[in-house]
Amino acid sequence: MSTAFDNADLPAYTMGRAADLIGVTPAFLRSLGSAGLIEPERSHGGHRRYSRHQLRLAARVRQLLDEGMLLTAACRIVMLEDRLAAAHRRIVELGGTLTDDDNADLPTATHPDIATTRYYPSPRPDRSPSAP
């Protein structure tokens, strides 16, 4: 039996409670609204209400900011990750299957030619590329 509390999109958390749950300030949550990542629902009194899904997005942005990303870049990354996860859910709903190559949580392997550092050839054969 599914209840309203099982719905990750239910706007159940006030701004203060939401901020406490993920360890941020209310101003941080407002900044995510200004950045266009999260648009909270409003109560009848006009107070912001956040869903668990929105709080997961906000927590991920906070993690990326702590790793040194700019807010706009972090929001864009989280938005794309969220869209990819939604697309994967839709594929499965339609009866498709995902392979390990489709797992967005695993980094994509870099092509060996790109990962190999190449130096300019030394003008003299008796010198190595790293020699002064």
Q: How sure is the predictor about 93, in pLDDT bands with cuts at 50, 70 and 90?
A: confident
Of the candidate ranges 6-15, 69-78, 85-94, 119-128, the one whose mean pLDDT is the lowest: 119-128
Residue 98 has what pLDDT? Answer: 76
Residue 100 has what pLDDT? Answer: 72
- Residue 5 carries which side chain, given as an amino acid letter? F
Q: pTM here?
A: 0.69
Rounded to the nearest integer, the mean pLDDT of the chain is 81
Q: Which residue would you say has higher pLDDT here, 130 or 36? A: 36
Q: How sure is the predictor about 18, in pLDDT bands with cuts at 50, 70 and 90?
A: very high
Burial class (CB in 10 A: 0-12, 13-18, 19+), 101: exposed
Residue 114 has what pLDDT? Answer: 55
Backbone angles phi, psi at 6, to 5 degrees: -75, -15
Of the candidate ranges 61-65, 89-93, 97-101, 104-108, the one whose mean pLDDT is the lowest: 104-108
Q: How sure is the predictor about 74, in pLDDT bands with cuts at 50, 70 and 90?
A: very high
Cα 18 from Cα 12, distance rounded (Å): 9
